[in-house]
Protein backbone atom coordinates (compact mmCIF):
# COMPACT_ATOMS: atom_id res chain seq x y z
CA UNK A 1 0.00 0.00 0.00
CA UNK A 2 1.17 3.49 -0.73
CA UNK A 3 2.43 5.22 2.40
CA UNK A 4 0.19 7.64 4.27
CA UNK A 5 2.66 10.44 3.54
CA UNK A 6 2.44 9.99 -0.24
CA UNK A 7 -1.32 9.46 -0.10
CA UNK A 8 -1.71 12.75 1.78
CA UNK A 9 0.45 14.55 -0.82
CA UNK A 10 -2.15 13.52 -3.40
CA UNK A 11 -5.09 14.33 -1.07
CA UNK A 12 -6.13 10.70 -0.80
CA UNK A 13 -7.69 9.35 2.42
CA UNK A 14 -5.22 8.08 5.04
CA UNK A 15 -5.35 5.73 8.06
CA UNK A 16 -3.79 8.48 10.22
CA UNK A 17 -2.37 11.94 9.50
CA UNK A 18 1.27 11.63 8.42
CA UNK A 19 3.83 13.64 10.35
CA UNK A 20 7.47 14.57 9.86
CA UNK A 21 9.53 17.57 10.94
CA UNK A 22 11.60 19.96 8.89
CA UNK A 23 15.17 19.79 10.19
CA UNK A 24 14.28 16.57 11.98
CA UNK A 25 17.97 15.64 11.80
CA UNK A 26 19.93 18.22 13.75
CA UNK A 27 21.56 19.34 16.95
CA UNK A 28 18.67 18.38 19.24
CA UNK A 29 19.40 14.70 18.39
CA UNK A 30 22.12 13.01 20.48
CA UNK A 31 23.36 10.80 17.63
CA UNK A 32 23.66 13.84 15.34
CA UNK A 33 25.70 15.77 17.92
CA UNK A 34 28.04 12.80 18.19
CA UNK A 35 28.57 12.61 14.39
CA UNK A 36 28.87 16.41 14.17
CA UNK A 37 31.78 16.64 16.65
CA UNK A 38 34.79 17.93 14.74
CA UNK A 39 32.91 17.91 11.42
CA UNK A 40 30.91 20.43 9.44
CA UNK A 41 27.34 19.96 8.21
CA UNK A 42 28.57 19.66 4.61
CA UNK A 43 31.27 17.13 5.58
CA UNK A 44 28.47 14.91 6.90
CA UNK A 45 26.39 15.46 3.76
CA UNK A 46 29.36 14.45 1.57
CA UNK A 47 29.89 11.17 3.42
CA UNK A 48 27.12 8.58 2.88
CA UNK A 49 28.36 6.49 5.82
CA UNK A 50 27.54 9.51 8.08
CA UNK A 51 24.59 11.07 6.22
CA UNK A 52 22.63 7.81 6.23
CA UNK A 53 22.56 7.21 10.01
CA UNK A 54 21.93 10.91 10.66
CA UNK A 55 18.87 10.88 8.37
CA UNK A 56 17.61 7.62 9.90
CA UNK A 57 17.92 8.75 13.55
CA UNK A 58 14.64 10.72 13.65
CA UNK A 59 12.83 7.91 11.80
CA UNK A 60 13.92 5.40 14.44
CA UNK A 61 13.65 7.70 17.46
CA UNK A 62 10.46 9.60 16.67
CA UNK A 63 8.43 7.30 14.41
CA UNK A 64 7.91 9.98 11.75
CA UNK A 65 6.25 9.01 8.45
CA UNK A 66 9.00 10.22 6.11
CA UNK A 67 12.76 10.67 6.07
CA UNK A 68 14.52 13.64 4.49
CA UNK A 69 17.86 13.47 2.76
CA UNK A 70 20.65 14.92 4.89
CA UNK A 71 22.21 17.80 2.94
CA UNK A 72 21.87 21.59 2.90
CA UNK A 73 20.40 24.05 0.42
CA UNK A 74 23.90 25.59 0.00
CA UNK A 75 25.45 22.32 -1.19
CA UNK A 76 24.29 22.24 -4.85
CA UNK A 77 25.49 25.84 -5.29
CA UNK A 78 29.02 24.48 -4.91
CA UNK A 79 28.16 22.04 -7.71
CA UNK A 80 27.29 25.12 -9.82
CA UNK A 81 30.79 26.44 -9.25
CA UNK A 82 29.84 28.99 -6.58
CA UNK A 83 32.03 29.13 -3.45
CA UNK A 84 29.73 28.99 -0.44
CA UNK A 85 30.06 27.26 2.93
CA UNK A 86 28.10 26.76 6.13
CA UNK A 87 29.47 28.82 9.01
CA UNK A 88 28.90 27.36 12.45
CA UNK A 89 25.89 28.96 14.15
CA UNK A 90 25.36 31.32 11.19
CA UNK A 91 24.35 29.47 8.03
CA UNK A 92 25.43 29.77 4.40
CA UNK A 93 28.22 32.32 3.78
CA UNK A 94 30.17 33.30 0.70
CA UNK A 95 33.26 35.54 0.67
CA UNK A 96 32.57 36.41 -2.99
CA UNK A 97 28.86 37.29 -3.22
CA UNK A 98 27.00 38.45 -6.34
CA UNK A 99 27.23 42.25 -6.34
CA UNK A 100 27.22 43.24 -10.03
CA UNK A 101 25.27 41.89 -13.02
CA UNK A 102 28.37 40.22 -14.50
CA UNK A 103 28.84 38.22 -11.27
CA UNK A 104 25.96 35.94 -12.23
CA UNK A 105 28.18 34.44 -14.94
CA UNK A 106 30.07 32.72 -12.13
CA UNK A 107 27.06 30.49 -11.56
CA UNK A 108 27.64 27.55 -13.94
CA UNK A 109 25.22 24.80 -14.95
CA UNK A 110 24.75 22.18 -12.24
CA UNK A 111 27.35 19.38 -12.47
CA UNK A 112 26.12 16.04 -11.13
CA UNK A 113 29.72 14.75 -11.06
CA UNK A 114 30.36 17.19 -8.18
CA UNK A 115 27.82 15.44 -5.92
CA UNK A 116 28.24 11.66 -6.42
CA UNK A 117 27.55 11.20 -2.70
CA UNK A 118 23.96 12.45 -3.07
CA UNK A 119 22.63 9.56 -5.19
CA UNK A 120 24.79 7.17 -3.16
CA UNK A 121 23.25 8.38 0.13
CA UNK A 122 19.76 8.16 -1.37
CA UNK A 123 20.30 4.59 -2.59
CA UNK A 124 21.65 3.48 0.79
CA UNK A 125 18.83 5.22 2.66
CA UNK A 126 16.19 3.58 0.49
CA UNK A 127 17.55 0.16 1.41
CA UNK A 128 17.25 0.94 5.11
CA UNK A 129 13.88 2.69 4.92
CA UNK A 130 12.01 -0.36 3.59
CA UNK A 131 9.20 1.55 1.95
CA UNK A 132 9.05 4.57 4.25
CA UNK A 133 9.22 7.52 1.84
CA UNK A 134 12.36 9.57 1.38
CA UNK A 135 12.03 13.29 0.66
CA UNK A 136 14.66 15.01 -1.47
CA UNK A 137 15.00 18.79 -1.39
CA UNK A 138 16.56 21.96 -2.71
CA UNK A 139 16.32 25.67 -2.07
CA UNK A 140 14.01 27.77 -4.25
CA UNK A 141 15.48 30.38 -6.62
CA UNK A 142 14.66 33.39 -4.42
CA UNK A 143 15.98 31.95 -1.16
CA UNK A 144 19.18 30.75 -2.86
CA UNK A 145 19.63 34.09 -4.63
CA UNK A 146 19.35 35.86 -1.27
CA UNK A 147 22.40 33.93 0.01
CA UNK A 148 24.33 34.57 -3.21
CA UNK A 149 23.68 38.31 -3.13
CA UNK A 150 23.92 38.94 0.63
CA UNK A 151 26.85 36.55 1.11
CA UNK A 152 25.26 35.47 4.40
CA UNK A 153 21.90 35.17 6.16
CA UNK A 154 19.98 38.44 6.24
CA UNK A 155 17.04 39.88 8.15
CA UNK A 156 15.88 42.59 5.77
CA UNK A 157 17.19 41.28 2.41
CA UNK A 158 18.11 44.87 1.52
CA UNK A 159 20.97 43.96 -0.84
CA UNK A 160 18.88 41.25 -2.47
CA UNK A 161 16.04 43.68 -3.19
CA UNK A 162 18.45 46.38 -4.27
CA UNK A 163 19.93 43.99 -6.84
CA UNK A 164 16.46 42.78 -7.91
CA UNK A 165 15.25 46.35 -8.54
CA UNK A 166 18.50 47.77 -9.96
CA UNK A 167 19.29 44.96 -12.38
CA UNK A 168 15.99 43.28 -13.32
CA UNK A 169 17.45 41.46 -16.33
CA UNK A 170 20.46 40.10 -14.46
CA UNK A 171 18.17 39.17 -11.54
CA UNK A 172 15.82 37.26 -13.86
CA UNK A 173 18.81 35.50 -15.43
CA UNK A 174 20.18 34.62 -11.99
CA UNK A 175 16.87 33.09 -10.90
CA UNK A 176 16.58 31.24 -14.21
CA UNK A 177 20.03 29.70 -13.72
CA UNK A 178 19.08 28.68 -10.20
CA UNK A 179 15.76 27.18 -11.35
CA UNK A 180 17.54 25.15 -14.03
CA UNK A 181 20.28 24.02 -11.66
CA UNK A 182 17.83 22.98 -8.93
CA UNK A 183 15.65 21.20 -11.52
CA UNK A 184 18.68 19.12 -12.53
CA UNK A 185 19.63 18.53 -8.89
CA UNK A 186 16.12 17.42 -7.87
CA UNK A 187 15.72 15.15 -10.90
CA UNK A 188 19.01 13.51 -9.93
CA UNK A 189 17.56 12.87 -6.46
CA UNK A 190 14.34 11.39 -7.86
CA UNK A 191 16.28 9.16 -10.28
CA UNK A 192 18.27 7.85 -7.31
CA UNK A 193 15.04 7.05 -5.45
CA UNK A 194 13.61 10.13 -3.68
CA UNK A 195 9.81 9.70 -3.64
CA UNK A 196 8.89 13.34 -3.03
CA UNK A 197 10.74 16.65 -3.20
CA UNK A 198 10.47 19.78 -1.11
CA UNK A 199 11.50 23.18 -2.47
CA UNK A 200 12.48 25.51 0.39
CA UNK A 201 11.64 29.15 -0.26
CA UNK A 202 12.32 29.92 3.38
CA UNK A 203 12.68 33.68 3.06
CA UNK A 204 10.14 34.46 0.32
CA UNK A 205 7.82 36.08 2.90
CA UNK A 206 10.15 39.10 2.78
CA UNK A 207 8.56 40.08 -0.55
CA UNK A 208 5.41 42.02 -1.36
CA UNK A 209 2.90 40.18 -3.56
CA UNK A 210 3.66 42.36 -6.63
CA UNK A 211 7.42 41.83 -6.29
CA UNK A 212 6.85 38.10 -5.87
CA UNK A 213 4.66 38.00 -8.98
CA UNK A 214 7.04 40.06 -11.14
CA UNK A 215 10.47 39.01 -10.00
CA UNK A 216 10.23 35.53 -8.48
CA UNK A 217 7.13 33.56 -9.51
CA UNK A 218 8.24 33.00 -13.15
CA UNK A 219 11.46 31.22 -12.11
CA UNK A 220 9.79 29.26 -9.31
CA UNK A 221 7.00 28.20 -11.69
CA UNK A 222 9.51 27.00 -14.26
CA UNK A 223 11.26 24.91 -11.58
CA UNK A 224 7.98 23.24 -10.53
CA UNK A 225 7.00 22.70 -14.19
CA UNK A 226 10.30 20.97 -14.83
CA UNK A 227 9.63 18.63 -11.89
CA UNK A 228 6.25 17.46 -13.16
CA UNK A 229 7.73 14.89 -15.51
CA UNK A 230 9.24 13.07 -12.50
CA UNK A 231 5.76 12.11 -11.31
CA UNK A 232 6.72 12.54 -7.64
CA UNK A 233 4.83 15.02 -5.46
CA UNK A 234 6.46 18.41 -4.87
CA UNK A 235 6.10 20.41 -1.66
CA UNK A 236 6.37 24.21 -1.88
CA UNK A 237 7.57 25.68 1.42
CA UNK A 238 7.78 29.26 2.63
CA UNK A 239 7.43 31.26 5.82
CA UNK A 240 5.59 34.53 6.41
CA UNK A 241 3.53 33.76 3.32
CA UNK A 242 -0.04 34.68 4.35
CA UNK A 243 -0.26 37.30 1.59
CA UNK A 244 1.53 35.13 -0.98
CA UNK A 245 -0.31 31.81 -0.78
CA UNK A 246 -2.49 32.14 -3.90
CA UNK A 247 0.54 33.18 -5.96
CA UNK A 248 2.68 30.40 -4.49
CA UNK A 249 0.00 27.84 -5.25
CA UNK A 250 -0.14 29.12 -8.83
CA UNK A 251 3.66 28.85 -9.10
CA UNK A 252 3.43 25.15 -8.34
CA UNK A 253 3.55 22.22 -5.97
CA UNK A 254 1.18 19.43 -5.00
CA UNK A 255 1.53 20.50 -1.37
CA UNK A 256 1.97 24.01 0.05
CA UNK A 257 3.71 24.24 3.43
CA UNK A 258 2.68 27.08 5.72
CA UNK A 259 4.05 28.48 8.96
CA UNK A 260 2.23 29.18 12.23
CA UNK A 261 1.72 32.92 11.70
CA UNK A 262 -1.55 32.12 9.96
CA UNK A 263 -4.12 29.58 11.25
CA UNK A 264 -4.13 26.42 9.12
CA UNK A 265 -7.84 26.62 8.19
CA UNK A 266 -7.41 30.20 6.97
CA UNK A 267 -4.35 29.24 4.93
CA UNK A 268 -6.23 26.31 3.42
CA UNK A 269 -9.09 28.60 2.42
CA UNK A 270 -6.75 30.96 0.63
CA UNK A 271 -5.34 27.94 -1.25
CA UNK A 272 -8.91 27.15 -2.41
CA UNK A 273 -8.48 23.59 -1.14
CA UNK A 274 -6.78 22.94 -4.49
CA UNK A 275 -3.58 21.48 -3.04
CA UNK A 276 -2.56 19.49 0.01
CA UNK A 277 -1.29 21.49 2.98
CA UNK A 278 1.68 20.91 5.28
CA UNK A 279 2.12 22.45 8.70
CA UNK A 280 1.88 24.32 10.87
CA UNK A 281 2.86 23.92 14.53
CA UNK A 282 5.08 26.70 15.90
CA UNK A 283 8.52 25.03 16.36
CA UNK A 284 8.85 26.87 19.70
CA UNK A 285 5.79 24.95 20.96
CA UNK A 286 8.03 21.89 21.29
CA UNK A 287 9.94 23.81 24.00
CA UNK A 288 6.72 24.53 25.95
CA UNK A 289 5.25 22.55 28.87
CA UNK A 290 3.54 19.44 27.48
CA UNK A 291 0.01 20.64 28.31
CA UNK A 292 0.60 23.72 26.15
CA UNK A 293 2.25 21.62 23.44
CA UNK A 294 -0.65 19.13 23.37
CA UNK A 295 -3.20 21.93 23.09
CA UNK A 296 -1.33 23.47 20.18
CA UNK A 297 -1.10 20.12 18.38
CA UNK A 298 -4.84 19.62 18.90
CA UNK A 299 -5.55 23.10 17.56
CA UNK A 300 -3.70 22.36 14.31
CA UNK A 301 -5.58 19.05 13.96
CA UNK A 302 -8.93 20.73 14.65
CA UNK A 303 -8.24 23.31 11.96
CA UNK A 304 -7.27 20.54 9.51
CA UNK A 305 -10.65 19.05 10.40
CA UNK A 306 -9.83 15.56 9.14
CA UNK A 307 -9.87 16.70 5.51
CA UNK A 308 -7.70 14.60 3.20
CA UNK A 309 -4.44 16.24 2.22
CA UNK A 310 -2.98 17.33 5.57
CA UNK A 311 0.64 16.55 6.38
CA UNK A 312 1.39 17.47 9.97
CA UNK A 313 4.68 19.35 10.32
CA UNK A 314 6.15 22.38 12.01
CA UNK A 315 5.85 25.78 10.41
CA UNK A 316 9.66 25.88 10.18
CA UNK A 317 12.60 23.75 11.36
CA UNK A 318 13.04 22.04 14.73
CA UNK A 319 14.80 24.43 17.12
CA UNK A 320 18.02 23.45 18.86
CA UNK A 321 17.26 22.51 22.46
CA UNK A 322 13.97 20.80 21.58
CA UNK A 323 13.51 17.82 23.93
CA UNK A 324 13.46 14.63 21.83
CA UNK A 325 10.62 13.37 24.09
CA UNK A 326 8.48 16.30 23.05
CA UNK A 327 9.05 15.64 19.36
CA UNK A 328 8.14 11.97 19.86
CA UNK A 329 5.07 13.01 21.84
CA UNK A 330 3.83 15.13 18.94
CA UNK A 331 4.19 12.23 16.48
CA UNK A 332 2.34 9.86 18.81
CA UNK A 333 -0.41 12.35 19.53
CA UNK A 334 -1.05 13.17 15.87
CA UNK A 335 -1.26 9.47 15.01
CA UNK A 336 -3.48 8.63 18.00
CA UNK A 337 -5.90 11.49 17.43
CA UNK A 338 -6.31 10.94 13.70
CA UNK A 339 -6.02 7.14 13.43
CA UNK A 340 -9.13 4.96 13.34
CA UNK A 341 -7.92 3.08 16.41
CA UNK A 342 -8.01 6.32 18.39
- CA nearest neighbour of 160 among 110, 221, 111, 201: 201
72 is catalytic: yes
Q: How far is the CB of 301 from ligand CP3 (least distance, A)?
A: 23
147 is catalytic: yes
Catalytic residue chosen out of the listed positions 23, 249, 261, 307 = 23
Q: Decide if 297 contacts 326 (C-beta within 8 A).
A: no
Q: Decide if 245 contacts 226 (C-beta within 8 A).
A: no
36 is catalytic: yes
Q: Which residues contact 107 (CB under 8 A, 6 or more apart)?
A: 77, 80, 81, 82, 98, 148, 174, 177, 178, 181
Q: Decide if 234 contacts 252 (C-beta within 8 A).
A: yes
Phi, psi of 108 (to 5 degrees): -90, 165
Cβ proximity to ligand CP3, 22 vs 275, nearer residue: 22
Q: How far is the CB of 25 from ligand CP3 (least distance, A)?
A: 3
Phi, psi of 134 (to 5 degrees): -110, 130
Cβ proximity to ligand CP3, 81 vs 153, nearer residue: 153
CA distance 170 to 43: 32
Q: How far is the CB of 13 from ligand CP3 (least distance, A)?
A: 27
CA distance 174 to 82: 12
CA distance 230 to 187: 7
Catalytic residue chosen out of the listed positions 11, 36, 46, 333 = 36
39 is catalytic: no
Catalytic residue chosen out of the listed positions 28, 32, 147, 212 = 147
Cβ proximity to ligand CP3, 11 vs 24, nearer residue: 24
- Cα dist from 218 to 169, 250, 308, whole Å: 13, 10, 29
Cβ proximity to ligand CP3, 154 vs 337, nearer residue: 154
Ramachandran assignment for 234, one of left (phi > 0), alpha (psi -120 to 50 degrees), beta (any other):
beta
Cβ proximity to ligand CP3, 170 vs 178, nearer residue: 178
Interacting residues toward ligand CP3 by CB under 6 A = 22-27, 36, 41, 68, 70, 72-73, 86, 89-92, 137, 153, 200, 202, 316-317
228 is catalytic: no
Q: How far is the CB of 224 from ligand CP3 (least distance, A)?
A: 17
Q: How far is the CB of 16 from ligand CP3 (least distance, A)?
A: 22
Residues designated catalytic: 23, 27, 36, 72, 147
Amino acid sequence: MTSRFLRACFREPVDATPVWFMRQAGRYMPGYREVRRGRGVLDIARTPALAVPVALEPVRTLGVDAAILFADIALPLQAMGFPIDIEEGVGPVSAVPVRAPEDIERLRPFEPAQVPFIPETIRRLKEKLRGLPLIGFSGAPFTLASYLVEGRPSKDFARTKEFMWSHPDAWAALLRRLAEGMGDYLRLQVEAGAEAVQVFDSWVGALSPPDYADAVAPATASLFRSLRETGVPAIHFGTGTAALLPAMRAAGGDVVSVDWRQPLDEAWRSLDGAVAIQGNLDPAAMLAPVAVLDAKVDDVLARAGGRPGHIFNLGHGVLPGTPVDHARRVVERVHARTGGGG
